[in-house]
Structure formats: C-alpha cells, structure tokens
Amino acid sequence: MRLEGKRALVTGGSRSIGRAIAVGLAREGADVVVNYKSQKDAADEVVKTIEGYGRRGLAIQASTDSRPDVDRMAEEADRFLGGIDILVNNAGVLKRTPFLEITEEEWDWTLNTNLKGYFMVGQAVARHMVGRGTQGNFINMSSAGQAVAAPNLTHYCVAKAGIEMLTKQMALELAPHKIRVNALAPGLIETDLNRNDIADPSFRERRMARIPLQLIGVPEDLVGAVVFLASEAESRLITGASIFIDAGQTIWGA
C-alpha cells in the first residue's frame, strides 16, 4: 500500500494502459478518478474494480483536447477527491499515415490530443494543486517514439517528442511548488490502438527485429513504474526524467 491515502486522476483510464494504471494505483491504496471520452460502460467497470479494492472511484467524461471539458474535469475531480496528489496524463490517439498523406485535420487531431491535451490537463490540475498547497506527482505517458522515428507516424512521434520537453518544462516550473513531473516512454505495448497491427505477421516481424529482448509488452508492465514515480518514498529526487520501458528498442537508435 505504497500510495495509501493518495488521490489520483488518470486520463484515458477506461481501457488498455489507462485502465491498468488506474487499477494499479487503487491496488496500492489510492482513490482514483477515471477520465474517459466515450466508453462510459468501460469506465464504470474500472470504477467498480477500484471500489473492489476498498478505494473511492469516479468516472468523468471529458475530451482532453477541449479546454472547457478539461477545466470541468479538473474541478470535478478535485472536488470529489478533496484534492489531487497524482495526475497520469494518458489519453492519446494513434493513426498510421504516410507523411505525404497526412492532412491538416489529422495532424491537428493527433497533436491536440497527444500534446496539447497534456498541457491543458497538466495546467488545470496544477492550478488546483497550487491553490491548495498540495505537493504531488505528474506522470506523462509518452512513447519510445519521442526518441526514435517510425514509418507512417510523423505526427505521433512529433507529439511524443513534444511531451519530453513539456515534461521538463513542467518539472522546472512546478518544482517550487513541490510537484514532480516525469514521463514514461513505453515501447511496443499491445493495446486497443495497435492490436490489429500486431496481429499482422509482417508488422510483427519488422518490429520484433528492432527489440533486443524480443518481448511485446502488456499494459500491466507499466504499472510498477507508475507506482514508483508516484511514491515520494521511492522517487522523491526524480523529476523531469523520461524512463524508457521498451525491451531495449531505443538501443538501436533510429
């Protein structure tokens, strides 16, 4: 129970990585607000699982690329929890499109959710924390794509590279308020976004050729690192860092 009494908000928490993180935080003693965009039933199921661990849970619908939605979500989460100690910025989108075929609309859709949304949610939650004098931790879910390029993912990788610097800037500017900010950069993790890709033998073979440990992760593989970063007792000197959980993928470089 390393996070007993802590209060967390997880965006994109209704499925895959977000679900695993929300449940993992509850298992370690935290009360958790689960943000979702459209999958209410899935979010409600996550809340039931959280409550099964004896913790408080609440599902809040909001689009993280909308400032009014973000401000409402942060207000509702802060009120329900009585303050926020942990934010996990996780909501994201992915679409594979060749560089020459990316439309302005698709570019904006990707950057607005995967980067601008992190900024807006982080800012809104930080304002509540600073207003309450609450110390805590932000964890931005990034990707190995912040460090290496990938075919047909220009907009996605650019957004993730932006998360790396956003994490450093937030860490620097929130440090006086005792709010630590770090990023996790997973490699190939099987989720709802890429399950069909991984099932394609040619895609799988190409990706596995670049993974030294020859392992494809599952969402639960990320929970330990999230709990570690959220725990003051274990990571109080870590801020502005990106931790790669990629089975060695970035060893190869580009």
Q: Where are the domains of the chain?
A: 7-190+218-245
Indicate the pLDDT class of residue 132, thresholds 50, 70 and 90. Answer: very high
- pLDDT tens for 199-219 read 999 999 999 999 999 999 999
- pLDDT tens for 67-107 read 999 999 999 999 999 999 999 999 999 999 999 999 999 99
**Encoding tokens for residue 219?**
């969402």
Q: Give pLDDT, residue 1.
A: 82
pTM recorded for the entire structure = 0.95
CATH architecture for residues 7-190+218-245: 3-Layer(aba) Sandwich (3.40)
> What does pLDDT average to over the chain?
96
| Run of H or E including 186 | strand 179-186
Region 47-52 average pLDDT: 98
AA letter at 144? A
Active site residue 53: no
- Listed in sequence order, the residues at least 6 apart from 90 whose beta carbon sits closer than 8 Å to its beta carbon are 10, 11, 12, 13, 17, 18, 21, 141
Q: Check 36, 53, 118, 156 and give the catalytic one.
A: 156
User: Which 8-state DSSP code applies to residue 116?
Assistant: I
What is the percent of the chain with per-residue pLDDT over 70, rounded to a whole number? 99
Contact by Cβ (8 Å): 145, 204: no
Contact by Cβ (8 Å): 186, 143: yes
Contact by Cβ (8 Å): 217, 188: yes
User: Which 8-state DSSP code applies to residue 217?
Assistant: B
d(CA 89, CA 74): 12
